[in-house]
């Protein structure tokens, strides 16, 4: 289990425990965290679970695969280094302390 902090665009913080094997998106959905819409349910077919990863965590996450890169082209104001789709980040103990921030909106 990993403790993950989700920060809404307005600065509201949500620190929750997410079980290993789930995705960061599922952790947000299961804990009713606003700002991650996840319209496709985690199929990497949209960009509505887009977040900005805290700079301290960018290099600690597995690299983006091509499909995620393609979907990020549709995200609201993607950042070339920090943007990720939370449906593509599997939770492990190594993610304990991860911090992600939601964009102003999801598209």
* Structural domain containing residue 91: 2-101
> Of 6, 4, 76, nearest to 46 (Cα)?
76
Is position 106 within any domain?
no
pLDDT of residue 29: 97
pLDDT of residue 5: 98
- DSSP annotation of 49: T
Q: Within the chain, what is the greatest distance between any pair of CA atoms? A: 31
Is position 107 within any domain?
no
Give mean pLDDT in consecutive 10-residue pieces for the chain, a chain of 107 residues: 98 98 98 96 96 97 97 97 98 98 96
Is position 92 within any domain?
yes
Is position 47 within any domain?
yes
Is position 84 within any domain?
yes
For the stretch 62-81, pLDDT in tens is 999 999 999 999 999 999 99
């Amino acid at each position: 289990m990993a403790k993950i902090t989700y920060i809404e665009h307005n600065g509201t913080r949500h620190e929750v425990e997410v079980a290993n094997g789930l995705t960061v998106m599922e952790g947000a959905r299961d804990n009713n965290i606003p700002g991650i819409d996840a319209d496709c349910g985690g199929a990497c077919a949209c960009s509505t679970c887009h977040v900005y990863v805290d700079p301290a965590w960018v290099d600690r996450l597995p690299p983006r695969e091509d499909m995620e890169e393609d979907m990020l082209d549709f995200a609201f104001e993607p950042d070339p280094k920090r943007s990720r789709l939370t449906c593509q980040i599997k939770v492990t103990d190594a993610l304990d302390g991860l911090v992600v921030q939601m964009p102003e909106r999801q598209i």
